[in-house]
Amino acid sequence: MAALEATDAYADATELDSSLPGALADYERKLLLATSSLVVCPNEACGYVFEQHMTTPSKASVVPPTPARARDDNGVPLTPRAHAHHRDYRFRCRRCATIFCAGCNAIPYHTGMDCASAAATAACGACRYCAKPLSPETTAENPTDAPALDKVCVDEACLAKRAIACRVTHVCGHACGGVKREKRCLPCLEPECAPADAQITADDYCSICWVDDIRSAPSIELACGHVFHYSCVTARLDARWPDAHISFAFLDCPLCNAPIAHKVLAKRLRPLQRLQGEVLALARHALHTEMLAGNSEVAFISDAAIAAYASSQRYYLCSKCDHPYHGGAAACEAAGDAHPPILTPSFARTHKCRFCCNLATWLCWGTTHFCDACHDIAPIIARKPFHELSPCTCSRVHPPNGIEFSYGCSMCCALEEAPPVRKSDRAEAKAARKAAKAQAKAARKAAKAQAKAARKAAKARSKAEKAAAKVASRALAAAHAVHRARARGRPDARGKLVDQPQPPQRARALHELNR
């Protein structure tokens, strides 16, 4: 046998000579393998044989200590027992480079565990979320009887994922990767179960976080057909817009830009969709105002036109009332250093143009309001002294042009501009309301009386019909009795005898005589 170089820091190996012919070589091999110091490479295609030399106490003084930074596959520092097992049983085959355990022939070597612990871990499997090997100590107890929640470790992140996970097991045997309270479970996305034309499998990364694959967390399938981690979608919705101004790109699928829709997200989407409706309402009002100011014909404004106009403007959320307000056009913010205030005095305030009496439609430089006409010459008009600005052309009370001023609530302004109401008008309106009220009361009373009379007439008519039906029934019964009496020659109901039926000739003769 030829001595070989050690394959581990503390293990020596010797290769067996396999050149002996025939049965003698096989007998020699079996005899040598019976010795406890020989180790065979568990790779079936290799079969390389090592001679193991265990570290003895006499050599302990010359054996260098294992580095303190030695860790297992999960980054946990090795214990002294794990160090000793690693030193004596970890081998790398010189022929095929297979790393294995000489104690249990495990491929690869179970770093950080002895053979018994590795066997227990193999029986427990791996965590379905973090894929870390499980052991009886690290396996979380299943609070339900659902097998889909069995293989989960005690890590807090994995337990949080299990709390929202679906408890259904598919027919194929794989656990459902969706969330609980879904009426229709997420289809199995494992590569061996997913259809050939599937857009995504469990091995693919989530297109929102790009950190973990789909099986690493409970996922949902949106209405557009794309699958994402449930936690990633909720985090995207909770984060909302990334900038100071409001934008609604976070409400769309990151892959196809279709609106995010799922039944488990309905409660979370409702306030966001309400906010989007408020912003579109502000955009509709501003667009209508601009069309009136430009003397253009105001026709039906489509939803697409409103959405396009809203995307060209900047809207911000008031930190006091949590309602959006118009902060000007996006062009002003793109010009540089445009930071509209986050806090507004009140909701739905309208401002006067700083340089004239028109209604402001632009907010620039964070503090200056412009109308459309003044905004077109903003660099020129902003440098003019106050006395060179145009005089007041409206009937409202406000500071001289050149000073910022707010008209206040648009609804209050509309009420102030309405003509005053005279006392006579109020009296007439009160009398009209009183007359209308009396007329409505009389109409209700008449309708009530008419309905009562109709019910009474219907009741009498029904009673008469019942009496007539009763009389007709009695007459019919009497006629039947007379007919039966005549047929049998017996007295009728009044006690009179009934003649026996006569032959036809005699009956005709009697009839002629009686005439």
pLDDT tens, 447-486? 889 889 999 999 999 999 988 888 888 888 888 887 777 6
Q: Which residues pair with 359 in a beta bridge?
A: 352
User: What is the pLDDT at residue 18?
Assistant: 46
Residue-level pLDDT at 61: 45
pLDDT for 407 beyond 60 = yes
Please state the rounded mean pLDDT for residues 21-28.
55
Long-range contacts of 357-362 (CB under 8 A, 24+ apart): 357/392, 357/393, 357/394, 357/396, 357/398, 357/401, 358/293, 359/289, 359/293, 359/407, 361/286, 361/289, 361/290, 361/293, 362/328, 362/329, 362/332
Residue 185 a catalytic site member = no
Residue 492 has pLDDT above 80, yes or no: no
Residue ranges of E strands in 267-383: 313-317, 324-329, 349-351, 362-364, 368-370
Percent above pLDDT 70 for the chain: 74
Spatial distance between the Cα atoms of 7 and 265, rounded to a whole number of angstroms: 57
* DSSP strand pairing (313-317 vs 227-229): unpaired
364 is catalytic: yes
* Residue 410 pLDDT level (bands cut at 50, 70, 90): low
Determine contact, residues 189/101, Cβ cutoff 8 Å: no
Structure confidence at residue 481 (pLDDT): 81
Give the integer Cα–Cα distance in Å for 114 and 81. 8
The token pair that represents 365 in the structure block:
């430089």
Active-site position among 41, 124, 188, 332: 332
d(CA 369, CA 375): 9
What is the model's pLDDT at position 342? 35
Identify which has the larger pLDDT, 393 or 167: 167
Threshold 0.75, pTM exceeds? no
Tell me which of 177 and 302 has the higher pLDDT: 177
Q: Which residues pair with 372 in a beta bridge?
A: none
Choose, from 101, 188, 364, 371, the residue flagged as catalytic: 364
